[in-house]
Structure 1
Amino acid sequence: MPVTEVHKDADNLTMTVVADFAAPLQRVWDAYVDPRQLEKFWGPPGFPATFTRHDCFPGGLSHYTMTGQADPTSTDLEQEVLTHGGYWEWLDVKAPEGAEPTTASFEVRDGFSREDGTPNTDLPGMRMVFGFEATPEGTRMSTTTYFAAVEEMAQILEMGAEEGMREAMAQIDDVLTDLSSFAAGRGTTTTLLDDTRARISRVIRGSVDQVWRAHHDPELVRQWMLGPDGWRMVTCEVATEPGETYRYEWEPDGEGEGFGFTGTLTDSEPPYRSAHTEQMIGDPTMVAYETTFTPVTEGTLLSHVMSCPSQEVRDQILATGMTDGMETSYQRLERVIAA
């Protein structure tokens, strides 16, 4: 089991969990900043987490829910399904640097949330510092939780915080050994998050600054955002400030009708996060996207969380072959960055 030490200090209101992994520091770091991997271990067995937002930069936010049966060992399919929500407010990030980083850390304010995603102030919040240190055997990670009061510390420990941390750490090994599944070149993937949301992800070979610029410089956008072969971009009006509208239109090289999208940029935190609305020109259906640009080992993890007005709309959009079209565009994007 990865957990090697647990220190509970009632005088200083802290709990520190130390875990050792036979994997490079950067690999362990990636498991935390990539929501596709984090979902595989953040949460005890039987209660997997789903991250609907994961901003890995100071000032960012993460939202997640853990869902499972009241008794995971039971075969009763009609038993109650429980859902627990949580959030992180990202306070500080010291990402790994260099080809063989020796230290890294991030700090979050961790709290519980209600079904609508708002903070649940009836339960105590905590401050957590995740520290990563390279060792001869791999990586040592120290997770220190800071409590605001003795009563809050006792309440959280009584709720099973230590056991939950041990169980989560025990699941990381399986994620770390799966080195190829999340490597660049795997292609664009889609994960259904709930009835109306989906996450489309891909690792792009290039730095965060390069990938961000390629999404916001009209000259670069025209070179790669083309979808399947045989189409050309005839309108490229990029929004760069919140409140501005954008408009993209494409036409086939041969005969046939073109199409386009328009919408409004609703949030922008360069070069890590943006959010916008989208609707096909001529169709009133509105969809919302939140996009994050996260540095990982192989380049930049690009994640789009798509929120639709209904499950039917979500499934219709995915059935158009959108993921395949995005993969073709992202292959062009990597060539543009390389050039």
Structure 2
Amino acid sequence: MATNQDSASDREIVITREFAAPRELVWKVWTQPEHITQWWGPRGFNTTVTEMDLRPGGKWRYVMHGPDGAEYPVRGVFREVIPPQRIVTTDEFDEGWKPPQPIDLPSGIVATAVFDALGTRTRLTLTISHATIEDKNKHAAMGVEGGWNSSFDCMDDYLMALTDEAVVRQLIADQMKAICAKNIDQLMRPYAAEFVAFDAIPPFQTKGADAWRQTWASCLPHFPETFAIEARDLHLTVSGTAAFAHWLFRFTGPDKDHPALQNWMRLTGCYRKVEGEWRIVHEHCSVPFDPHTSKALLTLDV
């Protein structure tokens, strides 16, 4: 039991981290099972969420899987949930955990996570409260601070990937809008100087952003006055400073007989993060063809 001489701070371990992501996204990553499994636990661990009832009185249970195959189940009961600001929960090792050697586990742990919005960044303050100073010392000796900081490193990597994915998706959407608006300046803004294109029309490759600008400048006047772009099956993968996307698309508009509105095409985009900005470094636009007739296949009904 805590004595009269023990202050609350004497029984607390406080860990503070800042993440380059908005508070709403950090909250989702902290509370939604599909995100939790991507970062929870020290680096090298994997986590399974077996229970998540995010409400006061609701229970949660995670199982961390160590690189050696050992399992570390933890569980708790939510005491306070104020989206996207604050979560208070009990935190304890589940009865299913069998430590490799006898250990006197701390008890009465309560974890409070506070999410402070700092513009486009978020400060997360995790306060781990214990029933006694002895319990705090037991927990500290188990490496709780190092474990949480390693887990936060994983969370930071995951948030960065999610944030970068959103940025690249927006870049792709902005490109489509710029094409439909015939805004050549906006269209060319994200292309890297060393950009290379494999287009559906000659030549076989176009090297450099300046040459690619000339291609668009010569093509856009031939598009209908009003048109849109329909995109399907967009798949995007982001890893570190590189990203890769592919999708199907076609031009649509009221002038159904216009030559530009007659076929579906495939597009592959490659992106690189340079000095904090995502740039388009390669695009490959193509249509399949029938090898028996050498004719292009322009619809999805084949």
Shorter-chain TM-score range:
0.3 to 0.5
Q: Which has the larger radius of gyration?
A: 2
Greater share of helix: 2
Q: What TM-score results when the alignment is normalised by the length of structure 1?
A: 0.42
**Larger RCO: 1 or 2 (CA < 8 Å, sep 6+):** 1
